[in-house]
Structure 1
Amino acid sequence: MHKTHWLQIRHRLHQHPELSGSEQATARFIASQLQDLVPDRLYTDIGGHGVAACFDSPNPGATVLFRAELDALPINEINTFAHRSVTPGISHKCGHDGHMTILLSLASYIANNRPERGTVIVLFQPAEETGEGARAIVADPVFSELAPDYCFALHNLPGYPMGQVMIRSGSFNCASRGLTVRLTGKTAHAAYPETGISPASAIAELIQTLPGLAKNITQEELVMLTLIHCKLGEAAFGTSPGEAELLATLRTESDSAMNRLIETVTEHCRAVAQQHSLSISFEWNDIFAASRNDSECADYVARAASEYGQPVQWLDEPFRWSEDFGAISAASRGAMFALGAGETTPQIHNPDYDFPDQLIPTGKDIFAAIYRQLLR
């Protein structure tokens, strides 16, 4: 198909964004596009609104999965171009519209160049932004039927030369999760604070001590704790507070380091709460596993990029940002790579970001070259 077709597809997807877990219309559109390519099998409603098309060969071989994301972000777009979001407060500010278009373009290529052995799967996954989608996909019984041997994904990355491929073996991006700590004491009249139990001193202690705990987990890899938000009592001058809330983001290079950080942080919080006669509870959100690249799969990516003359940068360290593809690559051999989106392109999650259309053929060509290495 002519490149204008894929631009129109990407712009249509950009105009009609949907939040994580609410991607019904996007999934229906993707399924209709895939149906036109006459796959051997088409699955919908996987792990929520996930869609997968399978192209089978009559000969034994590996099963190779390529993945893109369906969801957008709760960000109000400030761009004024014709294909801007028509939904106030929601927009594709991570480039998932571009990732979906790349995968549809790949599916079109595969439909015209069927696998000579094995099976190829194009998977459109819901709810990446919340970290829930990939886990739901893997937990769905359909995933056991798909049973990929290899899996691949990409993510566009502004701030790097257009089309540059960034890859590494081992940890590619970090595990992360959001922590909410709630401390509960007892309110009192502000004139008689001694008659209550205020969490003020405890929350102040946690603000001072929690970030430093990350430094003691390991010196071998990245471990971070970033304070995000704090709330103490209510805006009432006559009342000494009885409740406090502290939010933090935990981030580590590996899942094992994350487990150690969780244990250290929760034990410390409990000890501080006990010292100040407070009850405590924890809530976890936006849970992302670390994404690790299989060395052989990373080599497939590098060879595919080189085939099309795209520069390849082998990274010394993983990216700090998280991506829930780690849940899929933990279930099979896989690799994720970053694709430079231009050094002057606004950053992802910026209100003026827009996926660069020139990356559509680049991403499709790299995926297609990986496909040919494994199944043709």
Structure 2
Amino acid sequence: MQSLDELIALRKTLHQNPELSNQEQATAVRIFNEFQAFSPDEVVTDLGGTGLAFVFNGADSGPTTLIRSELDALPIQETNSFAHRSQVKGVSHKCGHDGHMSIVTALGAELSKHRPQKGRVVLCFQPAEETGMGAIQVVNDARFTALTPDYAFALHNYPGLELGKVAVRAGTFNCASRGMIIHLKGKTSHAAHPENGISPANAMCQIIQELNSLPASIPQQAGAGRNWVTVIHAKLGEIAFGTAPGDAVVMVTLRSESNEGMQTLIEQAERFSQAVAKSENLSISFEYDDVFQASVNSQQGCDLVVRACETTKTPLVLLDEPMRWSEDFGQFTATAKEGAMFALGAGQASPQLHNPDYDFPDGLISVGRDLFLDIIRQLNGLEEF
């Protein structure tokens, strides 16, 4: 069993050596080396890219329980000055994935001493969570078929919530979101004769206005939940006073409490954008980036988290509404059908996620480990426990 000091040291080493999405080769090697001491029954490397899976088998038949962690960091320059600050310019662990990896590594240390009694436990370290691609890459990897879980669980640290407190709910836990990029193309002309060109200026302004009012125009259908639209960027032509613009781009984040709501947002945004473009004699095309489906907790998965909190005497709050931020863990619960993600409070005074001064609280490592361990105990049993 690793000591808490060793786990904190690992967390700080990971923090010092962050890697961006789908570039986590050195991070994966570091985790692989840590697990050599735990003697897993099976190891899968390069899963969905740089991902890893460590399998611990029980003696008897039973369910497969998957616990997920993330490998990647963010393209953010750290402003902290402590000794374990990032050593990579412009890259840092500002979402706490260094802490999540330490928690699941701590779980591996426990499972090496107390094997599951039945079924198996899969500890999965996935790449590229921040882009929404990593979980898709993992579940689409042909080798994942042999690891397909019956239950899947993950946590995410949550600044603003009391340190060590759990927040969970059945149903949607994280919202669906995606970046929508709208390209408008007309015809440039000399600024002295704009009538000779086709400017997308009016269409761009009208589309932005329509996008901002889109959520209010969508009826609240049963189970679809709330929707949000945030225009994040717009570009019209080039900075050239002698030229009337012929191109425009509008970038917007679509967000919904359900995958059904997201589909409605997409359909309506595309429909009115196409109508506006046609009326202005413009061509139009769409791109999508950072695509996350909603992460949905099953009732049984939520109940297992609640019971783990009761057993470990961890304070708990049941949420009335989903978290607005997005997570690609929904790919795993969609595969497993049962499971849950929960939030683990990082403290009310903590800087927010993705802030340049954020740092994962080391006190959460043992809390997260014990919660996951109790979920495994409920589903798979544990030897000598």
TM range (shorter): over 0.9
SS in 1 for 2:61: coil
Which residue does 2:378 correspond to in 1?
A: 373
Which residue does 2:227 correspond to in 1?
A: 223
Question: 1:70 Cα deviation (Å)?
Answer: 0.2
Matches within 5 A, 1:1-376: 1-220=2-221, 221-332=225-336, 333-376=338-381
Q: Deviations over 1:227-252 (max 9, x none)?
A: 00000000000000000000000000
- Inter-partner Cα distance in structure 1 for 2:9 and 2:185: 54
Q: Deviations over 1:333-369 (max 9, x none)?
A: 1100000000001001000000000000000000001
Runs of 4+ in 1 over 4 A off after TM superposition: none
Which one-letter code corresponds to 1:35 in the other structure? Q
- Inter-partner Cα distance in structure 2 for 1:275 and 1:67: 48
SS in 2 for 1:229: strand
Question: 1:57 Cα deviation (Å)?
Answer: 1.5
> Structure 2, unaligned stretches of length 5 or more?
none
Question: 1:58 Cα deviation (Å)?
Answer: 2.4
Instruction: Kindly indicate whether the alpha-carbon contact (under 8 Å) linking 1:35 and 1:42 is maintained by their aligned counterparts in 2.
Output: no
SS in 1 for 2:360: coil
TM-score under structure 1 normalisation? 0.99
- Inter-partner Cα distance in structure 2 for 1:270 and 1:316: 37
Question: 1:216 Cα deviation (Å)?
Answer: 2.3
Which one-letter code corresponds to 1:303 in the other structure? R
Say which is worse superposed, 243-252 or 208-217, in terms of deviation.
208-217
Which one-letter code corresponds to 1:361 in the other structure? S
Question: 1:218 Cα deviation (Å)?
Answer: 3.1
Instruction: Kindly indicate whether the alpha-carbon contact (under 8 Å) linking 1:171 and 1:290 is maintained by their aligned counterparts in 2.
Output: yes
The Cα RMSD (Å) is 0.7
Instruction: Kindly indicate whether the alpha-carbon contact (under 8 Å) linking 1:62 and 1:149 is maintained by their aligned counterparts in 2.
Output: yes
SS in 2 for 1:212: helix
> Structure 1, unaligned stretches of length 5 or more?
none
Question: 1:53 Cα deviation (Å)?
Answer: 0.2
Question: 1:306 Cα deviation (Å)?
Answer: 1.6
SS in 2 for 1:61: strand
SS in 2 for 1:313: strand
Q: Deviations over 1:199-249 (max 9, x none)?
A: 000001111111212222232511111100000000000000000000000
Question: 1:261 Cα deviation (Å)?
Answer: 1.1
Instruction: Kindly indicate whether the alpha-carbon contact (under 8 Å) linking 1:198 and 1:241 is maintained by their aligned counterparts in 2.
Output: yes
Identity within the alignment, %: 53
- Inter-partner Cα distance in structure 2 for 1:233 and 1:297: 51
Which one-letter code corresponds to 1:338 in the other structure? A
- Inter-partner Cα distance in structure 2 for 1:134 and 1:294: 18
Q: How many residues align?
A: 376
